[in-house]
Amino acid sequence: MSDNLLLKQIHVIDPKNHVDARLDVAIQNGIVTEIKKEILNSSGKVIDGKKLHLLPGLIDMHVHFREPGFEQKETIVTGSKAAIGGGFVAAVTMPNTHPPCDHQSVIDNIIRKANEVPFYIFPAATMTKGRSGKELSEMADLKRAGARAVTDDGDWVSDSLLMRRAMEYASMLDLLVVSHAEDKRLSGKGVMNEGVHSTELGLHGIPNASEVVAVNRDILLAELTGARLHVTHISTKGACEAIQAAKKKGIQVTADVTPHHLSLTDQAIADYDTNFKMNPPLRSEDDRKAILEALANGTIDAIATDHAPHTDEEKMMEFQDAPVGVTGVETALGVVLTELYHKQVLDLANIAAKMSLRPAELLKLPKGFGEIQIGSEANLTLVDVNLEWVVKRDEFISKSKNSCFIGKTLRGKAVGTICKGKLWEKQF
């Protein structure tokens, strides 16, 4: 099933090995066999790379593929295919499934189904049993099954003692502790960012403090326990500041941001469109600017989608009752290139770092992820940075269509993904 491929004169971007040049890349039997100025004799399909960039395969540190339990929203197969369509070769699924990912059999099942696509899934396991915030999950067992990170995702562990123990235990196993930092009591009945716009729309607000309080506690516990803390989908200026300060102090903390938080603000929620309801909520322009700065100065390590599919029926509910979350794997690269590359916030090497290299490092993935290396399995993303396209509801591969970018024109797109050595292409 692997292809022999020759990518001719493609612009290779590999921040790990400091490559930024137009080269020929040969792939034989799914392995990168040669990278050089010009490859003359090669078998298999030849792709003209003159208009393209080649990035190490993108890795999404935060997705919800909903299986097991919520297959009406997404399955491992549909989610994986959507991710490949968006240029990803690997993803970390969140454990809020049913049953939750707190047992090795759930992990086995997810990885097996992903292999059939083929696609790489590195499931995050729960930090506490049943994500109930009461007892630690069997992390050693979960790690053996393939988990590289633990988290209770949407349910922040508010019990500080339990969080301390979880972080100590996870650090012993060198598992990444992923935190959806949110003090739920402060969020209250909130459904969007607290501020002028929530008052204007008559919707309950979630203050920035709900995130910032939680980020700061987690940082203090990371300092205490020495655990590797990764704060996911940060949305506030306060969180950026806290993480920057913690990094300066040498605390092991990293962070990611979603494409929607770096590109949109709470002003977008006109007309009570539930495709703009997510958690954390879209914040103010002030916060968004802080996020762009944190991306540029390295405070934010990664960009992850928080791909959260929901059915039309669910999103058809009234704003206050509709579930939170938006899809993201298919629009992520387009949004990032439009908002960061074309607006000169990050160059392509930095984008490759945030969407591939750093995730691979944080998750301690094997050789060949996050870089383009001779002898490694080909996991690569082919990008046309100038391709303009309109996000259309009918064109999503994902089972769900709840995107906040429908109708937007984006500039830049993954036009092909090579995952496990197999080429998926759409528009050559």
Partner 1 sequence: MPSVWKRKDLVGLKDLTAEEIQLLLDTAKSLQQVSLRPVKKVPTLRGRTVANLFFEPSTRTRISFELAEKRLSADTIQFTGSNSSAVKGENLKDTVRNIEALKVDLIVMRHFSSGAPHRLAQSLPVSVVNAGDGINEHPTQALLDMFTIREKKGTLSGIQVAFVGDILHSRVARSNIWGLTKLGAKVTVCAPKTLLPAGIETFGVRVTSSLEEAIRDADVINLLRIQTERQDECYFPSIREYANNYQINSEILKRAKPDVLIMHPGPVNRGIELSSEVMDGPYSVILDQVTNGLAVRMAVLYLLSGTRRGGRKVNGS
Among 204, 343, 392, 426, binds partner 1 (CB under 8 A): 204
Among 24, 194, 211, 287, binds partner 1 (CB under 8 A): 194
Query: What is the footprint of partner 1 within residues 240-279 (CB under 8 A)?
Result: 271-272
| Inter-residue contact 355 to 62 (CB < 8 Å) | no
Quote the least distance from Cβ 182 to partner 1, whole Å.
18
What's the CA gap between 45 and 211, in Å, rounded? 49
Q: Please state, as a whole number, how many other Cβ atoms lie within 10 Å of the Cβ of residue 50.
A: 10
C-alpha 262 chain-centroid distance: 13
| Inter-residue contact 256 to 196 (CB < 8 Å) | no
x-or-dash pattern for partner 1, window 293-322, by CB under 8 A?
--------------------x--xxxxxx-
Q: Does 166 bind partner 1 (CB under 8 A)?
A: no
Instruction: Pick the catalytic residue from 108, 306, 321, 347.
Output: 306
Closest listed residue to residue 233, CA positions, set 214, 217, 205: 214
Quote the least distance from Cβ 203 to partner 1, whole Å.
5
Closest listed residue to residue 100, CA positions, set 55, 28, 19, 155: 155
Options 18-26, 187-195, 353-361, 369-377: segment touching partner 1 (CB under 8 A): 187-195
Closest listed residue to residue 143, CA positions, set 168, 162, 124: 124
Name residue, tokens 């790990």: 16
Options 44-52, 83-91, 103-111, 195-203: segment touching partner 1 (CB under 8 A): 195-203
DSSP 188-225: TT--EESSHHHHHHT--EE-THHHHHHHHHHHHHHHHH
257 exposure class (CB count in 10 Å sphere: 0-12, 13-18, 19+) = buried
CB closer to partner 1 out of 46 and 209: 209
Quote the least distance from Cβ 236 to partner 1, whole Å.
14
Q: Does 236 bind partner 1 (CB under 8 A)?
A: no
**95 — phi, psi (to 5°)?**
-90, 10
Options 69-77, 161-169, 189-197, 411-419: segment touching partner 1 (CB under 8 A): 189-197
Quote the least distance from Cβ 201 to partner 1, whole Å.
7
Closest listed residue to residue 236, CA positions, set 192, 198, 190, 286: 286
287 is a catalytic site residue: no
Quote the least distance from Cβ 421 to partner 1, whole Å.
45
x-or-dash pattern for partner 1, window 344-383, by CB under 8 A?
----------------------------------------
278 contact partners, CB below 8 Å, separation of at least 6:
260, 306, 308, 324, 325, 326, 404
Q: Give the count of residues interacting with partner 1 (CB under 8 A).
A: 22
CB closer to partner 1 out of 224 and 317: 317
Angle at Cα 112 formed by Cα 106 and Cα 118, nearest 5°? Answer: 140
Among 201, 245, 345, 349, binds partner 1 (CB under 8 A): 201
x-or-dash pattern for partner 1, window 396-425, by CB under 8 A?
------------------------------
Q: Does 144 bind partner 1 (CB under 8 A)?
A: no
Joined together, the tokens standing for residue 214 give 């939680």
Q: Does 280 bind partner 1 (CB under 8 A)?
A: no
Query: Which residues form the catalytic set?
Result: 306
Binding site for partner 1 (CB under 8 A): 188, 194-196, 198-205, 207, 271-272, 313, 316-321
